[in-house]
């Protein structure tokens, strides 16, 4: 079999070596702009360019080296509907995401963000402690990664809440569903963690209207996609004090432009899209196992429902 590989960073050699180890029967074809590729059975990509569509339209399946697939679905009907798109289900991202979100939640609960500001100002002043019963953490999106984050937060004793498009249940987590449940979910979440896939329905879901439903002094942590947040609304509500602070690992424009006002707002913490980096070896192992299942005619986990966007 032949696999068409594309890496935006150009670092294909380590991927080739891992495929040689975990799927030695496969030949790897590297996609280069302007060059004709040999016919391939499968494609392994992340955020492929539009110029690659002709090759992607002829494979048996497209494997995405990440959990989000919005960069592929934006091409719409240019990718034939019969070609499965398979996303990574975890491949080491879950524990990273859990570490990141847990750190952000504990930082706000223990008021370390405020102590950091005081230290820079040379100020020594103990602050009143928050009570855990008043510090409910709400996770928007209860997929594989959202569930992993809720599991990681459970031992700390925070009231946990989860929202999803369809009914979900999880021990120790108060769950909410659909548009009707979103309002109640938001009103009771002191920390809002966004882990949703980006779809037309979830774009700008964290806008002024929904942020105003959060309790006064709420916190926001976004590790999903920048387009989930209406950025001007967030800035306004932080300046008003309704939103106490935000930790953003994803932004609408990445890298975040130097002139963006978020850089000048000390209550917004920015990281460069590092909450869950793709672990190459784990990813190749998962993709190799799924390709073998596909060749054997077996069902593959992680298949994307294009009508839902994830």
- Residue 201 is predicted with a pLDDT of 94
pLDDT value for 56: 94
Q: Given this model, what pLDDT does residue 122 score?
A: 98
Mean pLDDT computed over every residue of the chain: 96
110 carries an active-site annotation: no
**219-251 confidence digits (pLDDT tens):** 999 999 999 999 999 999 999 999 999 999 999
Task: Tell me which of 208, 242, 273, 306 is the catalytic residue.
Answer: 273
Domains of the chain by start residue, with CATH: 2-91+278-296 (3.40.50.720), 93-270 (3.40.50.720)
Q: Are strands 61-64 and 85-87 parallel, antiparallel or unpaired?
A: parallel
pLDDT at 34 over 90: no
List pLDDT tens digits, range 172-190: 999 999 999 999 999 999 9
Whole-model pTM? 0.92
pLDDT tens-place string over residues 105-143? 999 999 999 999 999 999 999 999 999 999 999 999 999
Q: What percentage of residues in the chain have a pLDDT greater than 70?
A: 100
Q: Is 120 a catalytic residue?
A: no
Which of 87, 225, 228, 267 does the annotation list as catalytic?
Answer: 225
């Amino acid at each position: 079999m032949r696999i068409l590989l594309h890496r935006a960073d150009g670092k294909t050699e380590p991927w080739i070596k891992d495929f040689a180890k975990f799927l030695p029967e496969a030949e790897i074809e590297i996609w280069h702009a302007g060059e004709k590729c040999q016919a391939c059975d499968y494609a392994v990509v992340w955020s492929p360019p539009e110029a690659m569509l002709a090759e992607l339209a002829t494979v048996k399946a497209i494997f995405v080296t990440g959990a989000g697939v919005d960069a592929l679905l934006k091409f719409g009907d240019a990718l034939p509907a019969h070609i499965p798109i398979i996303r990574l289900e975890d491949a080491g991202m879950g524990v990273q995401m859990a570490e990141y979100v847990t750190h952000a939640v504990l930082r706000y609960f223990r008021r370390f963000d405020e102590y950091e500001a005081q230290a820079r100002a040379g100020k020594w002043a103990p602050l009143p402690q928050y009570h855990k019963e008043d510090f409910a953490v709400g996770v928007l999106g209860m997929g594989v990664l959202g569930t992993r984050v809720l599991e990681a937060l459970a031992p700390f004793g925070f009231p946990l809440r989860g929202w999803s498009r369809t009914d979900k249940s999880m021990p120790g987590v108060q769950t909410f569903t659909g548009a009707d449940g979103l309002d109640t979910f938001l009103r009771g979440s002191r920390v809002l963690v966004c882990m949703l896939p980006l779809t037309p329905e979830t774009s700008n879901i964290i806008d002024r209207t929904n942020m105003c439903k959060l309790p006064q002094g709420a916190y926001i942590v976004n590790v999903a996609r920048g387009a989930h947040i209406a950025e001007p609304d967030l800035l306004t509500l932080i300046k008003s004090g309704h939103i106490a602070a935000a930790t953003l690992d994803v932004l609408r424009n990445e890298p975040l432009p130097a002139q963006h006002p978020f850089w000048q707002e000390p209550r917004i913490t920015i990281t460069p899209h590092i909450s869950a980096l793709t672990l190459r070896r784990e990813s190749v192992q998962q993709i190799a196992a799924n390709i073998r299942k596909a060749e054997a005619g077996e069902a593959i986990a992680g298949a994307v429902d294009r009508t839902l966007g994830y």
